[in-house]
Amino acid sequence: MKETELTVVGNVVNSPQRSRLASGASVTNFRLASTSRRFDRESQTWTDHRTLFLDVECWGDLGGNVSHTLSKGDPVIVVGELFTHRWESEQGPRSRSQLRAEAVGPDLSRGVAEFRRTPRAAAPAGAVEEPPADAYADRSTDYAPEDYDGGPVTLDDETADELGDGRPLVPSLT
């Protein structure tokens, strides 16, 4: 039976930890915090409400990429299957909700990122591999402002830590 698929937007709470199991499989684990926010019309400010904490597990290549890419505090979007991990302890039966990630990525509404593909199998000895063509060279930028040249955008120092509506890029976790 397929578990419940879930998409969660939040922040990485701890540095992702990669482990190799006796079977040879590898898994990377991190904790994710997702805080709901509401706009308070009276004070004209955004306020934090409840926070959902989930343990996220990333298997195989995804786990390797996560452990090399993400750090504590990074804003992310995680898609995966929600399940309940159950076990017995000295205190009796225990359980916790976990998210088995299928995809993890940076939340680009809160910052910029550079994507780099992971290396493929090595080319045969002596073979010269041509760099790939820019797949986006002919892309349309009709949707962009007239002064956008297609290059990276740098936020000025005064607004670099907040979104356009004044909310912080990384909400507090408390």
Does pTM surpass 0.85?
no
CB 65 within 8 A of CB 35: no
Q: What confidence score (pLDDT) does residue 120 get?
A: 65
Q: What confidence score (pLDDT) does residue 92 get?
A: 93
119-149 tens-digit pLDDT: 766 666 666 666 555 555 555 555 555 555 5
- At residue 44, does pLDDT exceed 70? yes
Chain position carrying tokens 């993400």:
70
30 vs 15: CA distance, rounded Å: 7
Model confidence at 24, pLDDT cuts 50, 70, 90, reads confident
Question: Would you call 126 helix, strand, or coil by DSSP?
Answer: coil
Which amino acid, one-letter code, is at 138?
D
161 vs 12: CA distance, rounded Å: 17
- At residue 30, does pLDDT exceed 70? yes
46-105 tens-digit pLDDT: 888 899 999 999 999 999 999 999 999 999 999 999 998 898 999 999 998 899 999 999
Q: What confidence score (pLDDT) does residue 104 get?
A: 97
Q: What confidence score (pLDDT) does residue 131 get?
A: 56
Q: Which of 16-20, 34-38, 115-119 is predicted least confidently?
A: 115-119
Sorted by where each starts, the structural domains of the chain and their CATH numbers stand as 1-114+141-174 (2.40.50.140)
Q: What confidence score (pLDDT) does residue 164 get?
A: 53
Taking alpha carbons only, the member of 122, 124, 106 closest to residue 114 is: 106
Model confidence at 114, pLDDT cuts 50, 70, 90, reads confident
CB 169 within 8 A of CB 109: no
> Which residues lie below 8 Å from residue 89, measured CB to CB, with a gap of 6+?
none
